[in-house]
């Protein structure tokens, strides 16, 4: 009886071992299948990415631009880089938004096509004999490229590089980026954050006389003007000394508003000075210029009034 029990125990042990072995084999098979699937997916993804790279159709591929221009047949914008700074070739005194100009240049210099027309018809059929846009590119090494953009092709545009007969369609994003108005290219002056809590003193100079405001209630009123001042409507991007009088911004006629405030980040006292000129022709704004700037802006008369007047007079210096 004892031997029989031992025999049964051995058989159960062997069965358990076989069962465990089968489970392990199944687990290994599942893991192998998962590994194989991941490997195949990775290979397919890599092949897809490689195929996409191989299918990229290059129209222009220039590095390190030194200048570029673009024209719509009526207006031309030309830019030149001097000491790492992009400038408007016609007026280098106008400050430009560097990232905006750089982005336009790079978009034209490194341009990929949506597709290439294998057997194009006459260039006239695509608007390329009288292009809608002409873009000229020059690199630091002296390499030059001219790109012509013709008619719209659905959501895209027809384009070709000078010296070739290849016709492409390109994304409309390049055309959309071409700015012919300085409002989208100029770097406007920045107004610091000024509030009643940070404003420490305001000096207003008019007709040779200076009034200084230091009292808390006076500064609270003036902060209502400085705190909402925005310089977004530029009337002139480069006012010469001879042109200052046209805006009432010449030294003899302008009002000077100098605000001393505590900078929120540095904790230091800073000074922000603006010159206030005459009323605009529509009678709703006055011309304003930041000290050391060449730009003249139109600012609401109500805002200007709140910057330079209080409800009671203060002692004059």
CA-based angle 259:262:263, to the nearest 5? Answer: 105
Domains 59-183 and 199-308 share a fold: yes
Q: What pLDDT is recorded for position 50? A: 40
| Rounded alpha-carbon distances, angstroms, from residue 316 to 133, 170, 199, 225, 258 | 59, 65, 19, 21, 15
Work out the number of other CB atoms within 10 angstroms of the CB of residue 303: 18
Task: Please give the C-alpha separations between residue 174 and each of 60, 178, 267, 278, in angstroms, as whole numbers.
Answer: 12, 7, 43, 41
Spatial distance between the Cα atoms of 194 and 55, rounded to a whole number of angstroms: 54
Note the pLDDT tens digit of each residue in 171-200.
999 999 999 999 999 999 999 999 999 999
Q: What is the pLDDT of residue 114?
A: 97
Intervals of the chain under pLDDT 70: 1-54, 312-317
Query: CATH assignment of 199-308, given 3.40.630, 2.60.40, 3.40.50, 2.40.160?
Result: 2.60.40
| Domain coordinates in residue numbering, the chain | 59-183, 199-308
59-183 folds as Immunoglobulin-like (2.60.40)
- pLDDT given for residue 12 in this prediction: 44
């Amino acid at each position: 009886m004892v031997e029989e029990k031992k025999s049964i125990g051995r058989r159960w042990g062997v069965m358990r071992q076989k069962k465990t072995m089968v489970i392990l084999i199944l687990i290994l098979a599942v893991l192998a299948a998962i590994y194989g699937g991941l490997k195949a997916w990775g290979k397919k993804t890599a092949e897809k990415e490689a195929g996409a790279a191989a299918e990229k159709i290059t129209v222009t591929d220039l590095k390190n631009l030194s200048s570029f221009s673009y024209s719509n047949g009526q207006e031309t914008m030309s830019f030149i880089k001097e000491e790492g700074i992009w400038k408007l070739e016609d007026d280098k005194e106008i400050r430009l938004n560097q990232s905006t100009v750089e982005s336009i240049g790079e978009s034209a210099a490194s341009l990929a096509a949506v597709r290439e027309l294998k057997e194009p018809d006459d260039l006239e059929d695509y608007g390329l004999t009288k292009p809608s846009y002409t873009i000229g590119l020059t690199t630091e090494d002296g390499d030059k490229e001219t790109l012509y953009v013709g008619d719209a092709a659905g959501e895209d545009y027809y384009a070709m590089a000078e010296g070739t007969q290849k016709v492409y369609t390109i994304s409309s994003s390049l055309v959309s980026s071409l700015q012919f108005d300085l409002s989208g290219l100029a770097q406007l002056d920045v107004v610091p954050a000024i509030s009643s809590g940070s404003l420490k003193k305001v000096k207003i100079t008019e007709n040779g006389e200076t009034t200084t405001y230091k009292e808390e209630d006076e500064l609270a009123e003036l902060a209502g003007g400085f705190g909402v001042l925005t310089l977004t409507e530029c009337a002139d991007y480069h006012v010469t000394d001879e042109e200052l009088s046209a805006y009432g911004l010449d030294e003899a006629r302008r009002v000077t508003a100098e605000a001393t405030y505590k900078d929120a980040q540095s904790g230091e006292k800073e000074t922000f000075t603006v010159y206030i000129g005459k009323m605009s022709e529509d009678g709703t704004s006055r011309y304003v210029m930041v000290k050391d700037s060449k730009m003249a802006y139109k600012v609401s008369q109500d805002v200007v009034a709140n910057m330079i007047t209080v409800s009671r007079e203060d002692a004059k210096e």
